Amino acid sequence: MGTNNRNNNSESKKYELLATHVEMFRMAFAAYLEQCRLETGKSAESGESDKLTGGTENGIIFEELLCSYYQTVISALKKLAGYDRKYIPALVETYEELWKSAPRLNGRNYLCPYLSDLCKFLYEIREAGALAFFYNLLIYCREIPFLSLNGEKEKKLADGYESGGEEDPFAEFRKERLERIAAGFDENLFNKTYDKFFVILSGWREKIEGYYTKDEIFFMNGLFITDELADCVYGEERNGGKNKTMFRKADNSGENTYLYVYGGEMKEKIAGFYEKALRYFKRAINYNPGNPRYYYEYARCLKNSGKSAEAEIFFKKAFDLNVK
């Protein structure tokens, strides 16, 4: 008994020390940012674009400086939140801070990758209510119409030819492609949906606990497992409202390429994801048997896990409920 208490105290002190170091690191970095603003003659309260976060050309500065800082803090806060849930608000606030610090670039999405990372962590520590909110936000975020062209990447490719003293053989193609994509870009819609992301995000404190019904929480958790964990290596990928095959069959193996390469271990892992998702969908149905979407996703999960005959029963159930 005494040994267990000593171990618990030692563990607690270790995490308390980590929390102290995180706070010291944040204070030091805040002082550094303040110094940067003073050097450029701008006050911290001005709200103006500064050399760290403003403008397209500063996307690289954001990635090399601020992202490194936030990733360090987030990594430490994940350890703390995994140990004690009281650190979850601090973790979410740090993600929120990161998103607000990111430059608004129509050709670079800084929101979705970190939001997906947060969702995966919430799943790992079984924060089902919080996951329901942030996965809904991730689904919305993917509807923000960013340019389907990474300008920074294109520039680096072009600069690579120039620095090597070579003529870029794709220069005309790049120019034509950029003009074609830019012509179809709706800047007003981009700004409107981008701003709305932060409006929705601002309500996270009220909506991560007690906002969603039990069936909604079970459903969103099942959907997250199906579409983000299982389907990231198997099946289909969401693509602008359409579905496409992510991995092709390898020769005549009749198997998914990923499974063909990595074998039974990955197949077992994927099967585990689908089994867990099925349990979540089943519980959602039990709480709300009148929602056709629950039956549809349950059926889709059954089909993806190889239970096509059983899936047909629930596809029909979803259809029957939908036409009533």
Q: Using one digit for the tens of pLDDT, what is the confidence trace for 221-261?
A: 999 999 998 866 444 333 333 333 333 333 344 445 545 55
Q: In this predicted structure, which of 26-40, 52-66, 95-109 has the lowest mean pLDDT?
A: 52-66
- Using pLDDT thresholds of 50, 70 and 90, give the confidence band for residue 5: low
Of 71, 103, 135, which residue is a domain's last?
103
Query: Does some domain include residue 30?
Result: yes
DSSP H helical ranges for the chain = 2-39, 59-61, 67-83, 88-101, 112-124, 128-141, 151-163, 171-183, 187-201, 204-207, 214-224, 257-262, 264-287, 292-304, 308-322
Query: Does some domain include residue 205?
Result: no
pLDDT value of position 264: 67
Contacts of 6 (CB under 8 A, 6+ apart): none
- For residue 36, pLDDT beyond 60: yes
Query: Does some domain include residue 135?
Result: no
Query: Does some domain include residue 125?
Result: no
User: Taking CA 20 as the corner, what is the angle to CA 19 and CA 26, rounded to the nearest 5 degrees?
Assistant: 90
pLDDT value of position 251: 39
Query: Does some domain include residue 260?
Result: yes
Of 68, 103, 138, which residue is a domain's last?
103
Query: Does some domain include residue 38?
Result: yes
Query: Does some domain include residue 180?
Result: no
Query: Does some domain include residue 254?
Result: yes
- For residue 3, pLDDT beyond 70: no
Domain count, the chain: 2
| Mean pLDDT of all residues in 179-201 | 87
| Mean pLDDT of all residues in 147-162 | 64
CA dihedral 136, 281, 124, 303 (to 10 degrees): -100
pLDDT value of position 250: 34
pLDDT value of position 7: 62
Model pTM?
0.77
Q: Quote the domain boundaries for residue 46.
A: 1-103
Show the tokens assigned to 99: 């998103």
CA dihedral 220, 140, 184, 179 (to 10 degrees): -90
CATH code: domain of residue 282: 1.25.40.10
Of 43, 77, 103, which residue is a domain's last?
103
